[in-house]
Copies of this chain bind each other. A is one copy, B any other.
Amino acid sequence: MCAHSERAWVLVNASPDILHQLQANPVLQPARAARDTALCGIVLVDGQIDHTTGLFMLRESTRALPIWCTDEAFADLTQGNPIFGVLGHYCGVERHALRADGSPFSVAGAEGIEWRALAVSSKPAPYSPHREAPQPGDNVALVLKDRASGRTLVYAPGLGAMEEHVWRAMQQADCVLVDGTFWSDEEMISLGLSKKRARDIGHLPQSGPGGMLEWLERLPAQVRRILIHINNTNPILDEDSVERAVLAAHRIEVARDGLEVEL
């Protein structure tokens, strides 16, 4: 995801197809100089492969990459999968500590956005040095506020359980982009792809008691609800599925590549 303030863009997580994303969005390539991008900072919600591998593709940056991440994600990215160490042989990393306590921060160059990070109940990456002893900063949700309008967005691609502080932020938001990984808790088991339930690996499923649909149903009517981070096993990817119809009936959208959300 990218968020922008005037012409400065902040990348949220660097997915492996980041080069394709930059190519597909001319606005991200102002071409003020060779190898220029419009990115003035990168905010990571965790240290997972799908959120960090794209950093390798940005290694020819002419300046150290300004990256915000928690101490826990920093440990993942300097020990278990030392991407930051590898980048040190190229452009380098200008690391900013992200506190998962909800305190506001800004990304230099895009001051029109106020950011807050909230610890969420999920899991660190399998290669995390603390995989078996999860910490509050392993995964965060982000709350973005447009300082001019005061409108806010909650971004939470991994949400294993709904906690009070996250729920409060969602109720106050104008738009929520939340964990749409799995439709059902036993999705991966029933397909024979894993022995673990959705909740076991840090994702609240959409269906069933206490699932994401029940939570989204309780949000104030004006909150726009969009599912993101959708696994390729999730039946909602089929636009003709019963599950997709259920979402539509609940006024829940499904994100797609290139989706633009205006607050």
Which residues on A are within 8 Å of B, measured CB to CB?
16-17, 19-20, 34-35, 49, 53, 56-57, 59, 80-82, 85-86, 89-90, 125-127, 191-193
Contacts and interface: CB of A to CB of B under 8 A. Distances in A.
Contacts of A59: 49
A257 B192 CA distance: 34
Nearest to A125: B89
A127 B35 CA distance: 22
A86 B49 contact: yes
Interface of A, secondary structure class, is: loop
Nearest to A81: B86
A34 B34 CA distance: 43
A191 B34 CA distance: 8
16 contacts: A16-B16, A16-B19, A16-B53, A17-B17, A17-B19, A34-B191, A35-B193, A49-B59, A53-B53, A53-B57, A80-B86, A80-B89, A86-B127, A89-B126, A89-B127, A90-B126
B85 A127 contact: yes
- In the complex this chain forms, how many copies of it are found? 2
A191 to B, nearest CB: 6
A77 to B, nearest CB: 11
A107 B57 CA distance: 30
Contact of A53 (B56, B89, B126): B56
Contact of A34 (B20, B57, B86, B192): B192
A85 B83 CA distance: 13
Contacts of A82: 81-82
A101 to B, nearest CB: 29
Given A53-B53, A80-B89, A90-B126, 19 more contacts: A16-B16, A16-B19, A16-B53, A16-B56, A16-B57, A17-B17, A17-B19, A20-B20, A34-B191, A34-B192, A34-B193, A35-B193, A49-B59, A53-B56, A80-B86, A81-B82, A81-B86, A82-B82, A86-B127
